C-alpha cells in the first residue's frame, strides 16, 4: 500500500467545546452505541460538551447553531465511508468532521491511518489538527449535485453497488458483496463510456469500467491513481478500456499487483473536471464511496478544501 500524500493542516479551535457524536439509529444497543457512549464520557471528563445524537435533522440543526456561535469543535461520524459521505453532504460548510471507523471498509479512515478505539478518537478530538482536503462533486443531468469523499465508479462496480442496495436486508459485511458480484458480472453488458475533459481539447477517452478518484484508495487498499493529492484540486482518472468478464479478472489481478498502469488498455490521467456519458447505455449506473448515485450522464469536479477532517497531530 502506498504512503499517503503529506497534507497541510491547521490547528483546532481549543475554545470550541461542543462535540456532536452522530450515531446511526439502527446501531441500537450494539457495539457502535457502546463505543459512542464511551467516547462521550471521555470527552466530558476532559471538559468538552459532548452528546450522542441519532436524528440527522437534529445533528444538522445543532451543528449549524454551534458553527454560528463558534462553539462547534467537530461532528463525529460513527460508521463507515457511507456515513462520512452522508455527513459531508448534510452538514454546513465549515463543519469539522472526525471519523470514528465502525463500518465494513472504512477506506477513508485507513487512508489517514485513523484509530478505532474511543480513547484514541478522544485524543484526536482533544489534541488533533484539521486537514482541509478537497471533496469531489457529482452533477447529474437534472442539475442535482452530491459531494463525495473518495471516488466515483461508473460501470460494472456501480452495477454491483446498485444491486446490493436494492436487495439489502440488514447490516452489510464484506460477504454481502459476493452474491451481487456473481450475479452482476455474469450478465453485465459493459457499455462504452465517453470521457471528456476541457484540458484534453477534442479528445474523447473511451472506457468500459471507469473510476474517478478524489483520494488514491479503493476497497481492498487498491491504489489506482497514485499521483492524486487530496489538496491539489485534481481528480485521478483510471479507465479500463476492454469489457467482459475475462478482461475484468485481468484488471483485478493487475490492481492486486499494482501493475495496471503498465497495461496499454488502462489509462491513468489527472484532471480538475470531467464529463462522462454513454451512447450504448445512456443510463449506466454510477456510485460514490460505495453507495448508489444515479446514472449517466454526469459531470465531476473538485470542491477545494471542502472536507475538514480531524486527524492526529504529527
- The CA distance from 11 to 69, in Å, is 18
60 part of a folded domain: yes
Same domain (yes/no): 18, 166: no
Domain count, the chain: 2
Query: Which of these, 91, 22, 83, 92, lies nearest to 51 by C-alpha position?
Result: 22
Same domain (yes/no): 162, 301: yes
274 part of a folded domain: yes
First-to-last C-alpha distance (Å) of the chain: 20
Same domain (yes/no): 243, 189: yes
Query: Which of these, 116, 109, 241, 105, lies nearest to 164 by C-alpha position?
Result: 105
Q: What is the pLDDT of residue 172?
A: 65
- The CA distance from 247 to 199, in Å, is 29
Same domain (yes/no): 199, 278: yes
Q: What is the pLDDT of residue 5?
A: 60
Q: What is the pLDDT of residue 170?
A: 61
Same domain (yes/no): 170, 263: yes
Same domain (yes/no): 205, 81: no
Same domain (yes/no): 298, 184: yes
Distances (CA, A) of 156 to 91, 213, 250, 259, 312: 31, 16, 14, 20, 36
- The SS3 call for residue 78 is strand
| Length in residues, the chain | 314
Same domain (yes/no): 62, 47: yes
1 part of a folded domain: no
37 part of a folded domain: yes
Same domain (yes/no): 241, 172: yes
Helices 56-68 and 81-90 cross at an angle (nearest 10°) of 50
- Whichever domain contains 141, its CATH number is 2.60.200.40
Q: What is the pLDDT of residue 175?
A: 59
Q: What is the pLDDT of residue 39?
A: 98
Same domain (yes/no): 57, 103: yes
- Grid cell 436494492 — which residue? 166
> Which segments in the chain show pLDDT lower than 50?
1
Same domain (yes/no): 117, 167: no
Helix ranges (DSSP H) in 46-90: 56-68, 81-90
22 part of a folded domain: yes
Count CB atoms within 10 A of the CB of residue 311: 18
286 part of a folded domain: yes
5 part of a folded domain: no
Same domain (yes/no): 92, 173: no
76 part of a folded domain: yes
- Whichever domain contains 20, its CATH number is 3.40.50.10330
What domain range includes position 277?
Answer: 136-305
Amino acid at each position: 500500500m502506498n504512503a499517503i500524500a503529506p497534507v497541510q493542516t491547521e490547528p483546532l479551535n481549543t475554545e470550541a467545546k461542543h462535540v456532536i457524536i452522530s450515531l446511526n439509529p439502527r446501531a441500537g444497543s450494539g457495539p457502535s452505541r457502546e463505543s459512542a457512549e464511551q467516547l462521550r464520557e471521555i470527552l466530558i471528563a476532559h471538559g468538552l460538551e459532548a452528546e450522542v445524537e441519532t436524528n440527522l435533522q437534529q445533528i444538522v440543526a445543532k451543528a449549524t447553531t454551534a458553527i454560528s456561535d463558534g462553539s462547534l469543535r467537530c461532528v463525529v461520524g460513527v460508521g463507515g465511508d457511507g456515513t462520512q459521505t452522508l455527513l459531508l453532504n448534510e452538514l454546513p460548510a465549515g463543519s469539522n468532521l472526525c471519523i470514528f471507523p465502525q463500518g465494513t471498509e472504512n477506506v477513508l479512515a485507513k487512508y489517514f491511518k485513523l484509530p478505532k478505539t474511543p480513547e484514541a478518537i478522544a485524543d484526536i478530538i482533544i489534541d488533533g489538527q484539521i486537514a482541509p482536503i478537497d471533496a469531489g462533486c457529482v452533477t447529474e443531468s437534472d442539475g442535482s449535485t452530491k459531494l463525495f469523499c473518495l471516488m466515483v465508479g461508473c460501470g460494472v462496480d456501480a452495477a454491483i453497488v446498485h444491486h446490493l442496495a436494492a436487495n439489502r436486508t440488514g447490516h452489510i459485511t464484506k460477504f454481502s458483496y459476493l452474491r451481487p458480484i456473481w450475479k452482476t458480472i455474469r450478465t453485465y453488458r459493459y457499455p462504452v463510456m465517453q470521457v471528456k475533459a476541457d484540458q484534453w481539447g477534442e479528445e474523447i477517452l473511451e472506457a468500459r469500467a471507469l473510476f474517478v478518484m478524489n483520494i488514491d484508495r479503493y476497497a481492498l487498499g487498491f491504489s489506482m491513481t497514485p499521483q492524486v493529492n487530496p489538496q491539489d484540486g485534481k481528480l485521478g482518472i483510471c479507465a479500463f478500456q476492454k469489457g467482459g468478464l475475462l478482461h475484468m479478472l485481468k484488471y483485478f489481478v493487475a490492481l492486486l499487483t499494482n501493475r495496471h498502469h503498465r497495461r496499454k488498455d488502462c489509462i491513468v490521467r489527472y484532471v480538475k473536471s470531467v464529463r462522462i456519458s454513454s451512447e450504448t447505455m445512456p443510463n449506466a449506473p454510477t456510485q460514490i464511496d460505495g453507495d448508489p448515485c444515479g446514472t449517466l450522464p454526469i459531470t465531476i469536479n473538485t470542491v477545494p478544501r471542502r472536507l475538514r477532517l480531524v486527524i492526529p497531530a504529527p
